[in-house]
Structure 1
Amino acid sequence: MSADHHFDGLAGKFSRNIYGTTKGRLRHELLCHAMAPWLPASPTPILELGCGTGEMGLYLANAGYPVTLTDASVDVLENAQALLTGKDNATFRHQPMLDIDDIHAFRFIVCHAVLEWLATPLDALSHLYSKMQPGAQLSLSFFNRDAAVFNNAVYGNFDYIARGMKVKKQVRLNPKQPLAPAEIIAHCEKLGFRVQAKTGIRCFHDYLRDRSMQENRYDEVLALEKQYGGQAPYCWLGRYFHLILQKDG
């Protein structure tokens, strides 16, 4: 069995490659936009699983929420601590998701771009569901396998698709296990989650023929993404897929 992927030794490259591009900037803004209507009305403590270099934690802390940021990588957690310097409502833990024993204490949990790096993502979701308290909500996002196929077809990478999008040497910043939204939704509903919202993240940006528009017409792209990201069929083509899930019962 393959192991979960962590980012020790890659924190700087991780931050540059993700948040130093329009892809990362847009992903972050769209995730905030999709999650915002579902955030607790009062400053309820929030748990972030896989906080990365801290951008989402900073957004939550700035919004007034006490936020606990966790990550399996020491390096990226140190970056997150530096980013949130002076934020008294932020705490940090060096913990993989499966080692966190107080998930039940939180009413709102954030888990963005984590599942696709895990060896057994469906098992991780099952574990998370079992530890959540009834009524708690989960903001979940993951790299969309269906959109990855479409994107590679657009660019003519037919051999790569035929190989199941596998390469001999895995690039360490490429998600190891893209996930099909329909499969994740079905698994979540089988567990007992109720899907409250679903949104495609970057439904248009990555497919622009003139890639200079990603930068020089960014605001128009952002507005388009916000308008259509929650609507079928466009949502299914988002390079990332976002769900708001509630544990009923």
Structure 2
Amino acid sequence: MKETDQYFDGIADKFANNIYGTTKGRLRHILLLEAMSPFLQQRPHQIIELGGGTGVLSKTLLEQGHDVTLTDASEQVLELARELLAPYPAVAIEQKPLQEIESLSRYSLVVCHAVLEWLADPFEALKHISQQMTPGSLLSLSFFNRDAALFGNAVYGNFAYIARGLKVKNQVRLNPGNALRPAAVIDFLNTLGFDIEARAGIRCFHDYMNDKPETDEKFAELLEAERQYGHQEPFCWLGKYFYLMLRKT
């Protein structure tokens, strides 16, 4: 059966709760913003967020004074985004799949977080983004880390799942079907003419913990450890998501 892109129509509320209603979602949001922060402070940006979902990141970027265009393939997800972003009438919201978005040349920063792993051909999507971008502009990219997914399943003894290539017969819609190896993505980005400005592992420890933090104190301790080691080897390579800030050459 031919692989297809995964969208979230019909499960928009469940998607939103799964991403941002958990410690894993809180951590991801905080750590991604902190990884982006040095580049956001340089100047106000013209930003487009590809596959931006319910608009949580876009809201923060708007609050920081950037001009933001939010896109997503799912109209139902964007309905939630319109509610969240109603106080920001200047934001542009467009319902479009990533592959149909053109004219990225007018943006100084393209954001593509946790999108590639839901696409049938993530490398073709990266090629499309690269072809649309202007030299000197930035790409903030994060994706589900296949190496970390394999390691985590080994830790929990899911060897049959590993032997099947991390595939299940009946794919759960909130489980990404196309996790990517960071080394393979970096190699491909080099061929597209990107320079790496920064890299980090996102959630290098959280997803391997038997007991997730249940108190604010424990969450704060975990967050500090994630901040300290997420940019260091070998820990960065074990982040459940891998992050890159890239500059188009």
TM-score over 0.5 (shorter chain): yes
2:38 counterpart residue number = 37
1:207 counterpart residue number = 208
Do 1:195 and 1:244's aligned partners in 2 also have CA atoms closer than 8 Å?
Answer: yes
Structure 2 counterpart of 1:42, which letter? R
Unaligned runs of 5+ in 2: none
TM-score, normalised relative to structure 2? 0.96
Find out whether 1:115 has 2:116 as its counterpart: yes
Do 2:46 and 2:109's aligned partners in 1 also have CA atoms closer than 8 Å?
Answer: yes
Do 2:111 and 2:139's aligned partners in 1 also have CA atoms closer than 8 Å?
Answer: yes
Find out whether 1:231 has 2:232 as its counterpart: yes
Deviations 1:35-85 (A, max 9, x none): 111126332211000011111101101111110000000011111111111
Structure 1 residues 182 and 133: alpha-carbon distance in aligned structure 2, compared to 1, 3 A threshold:
same
Do 2:23 and 2:213's aligned partners in 1 also have CA atoms closer than 8 Å?
Answer: no
After the TM superposition, which residues 172-187 of structure 1 pair with which residues of structure 2 at under 5 Å, given as runs?
172-187=173-188
Unaligned runs of 5+ in 1: none
1:15 counterpart residue number = 16
RMSD: 1.3
Do 1:40 and 1:108's aligned partners in 2 also have CA atoms closer than 8 Å?
Answer: no
Do 2:195 and 2:247's aligned partners in 1 also have CA atoms closer than 8 Å?
Answer: yes
Q: Return the alpha-carbon distance in structure 1 between the equivalents of residues 63 and 237 of structure 2.
A: 31
1:124 counterpart residue number = 125
SS in 2 for 1:25: helix
Q: Return the alpha-carbon distance in structure 1 between the equivalents of residues 32 and 63 of structure 2.
A: 16
SS in 1 for 2:189: helix
Do 1:4 and 1:117's aligned partners in 2 also have CA atoms closer than 8 Å?
Answer: yes
- The alpha-carbon deviation at position 207 of structure 1 amounts to 1.3
1:68 counterpart residue number = 69
Do 2:105 and 2:134's aligned partners in 1 also have CA atoms closer than 8 Å?
Answer: yes
1:87 counterpart residue number = 88
Do 2:115 and 2:143's aligned partners in 1 also have CA atoms closer than 8 Å?
Answer: yes
Find out whether 1:218 has 2:222 as its counterpart: no
TM-score, normalised relative to structure 1? 0.96
Q: Return the alpha-carbon distance in structure 2 between the equivalents of residues 202 and 215 of structure 1.
A: 17
Q: Return the alpha-carbon distance in structure 1 between the equivalents of residues 24 and 205 of structure 2.
A: 11
SS in 2 for 1:217: helix
Structure 1 residues 52 and 64: alpha-carbon distance in aligned structure 2, compared to 1, 3 A threshold:
same
Number of residue pairs aligned between Structure 1 and Structure 2: 248
Deviations 1:156-209 (A, max 9, x none): 111111111111100000001000000000000111111111100000111123
Do 1:30 and 1:201's aligned partners in 2 also have CA atoms closer than 8 Å?
Answer: yes
Deviations 1:211-240 (A, max 9, x none): 345865001101111111011100000000
Structure 2 counterpart of 1:128, which letter? I
| Identity rate, percent | 54
SS in 2 for 1:147: helix
Deviations 1:142-166 (A, max 9, x none): 0000000011011111111111111
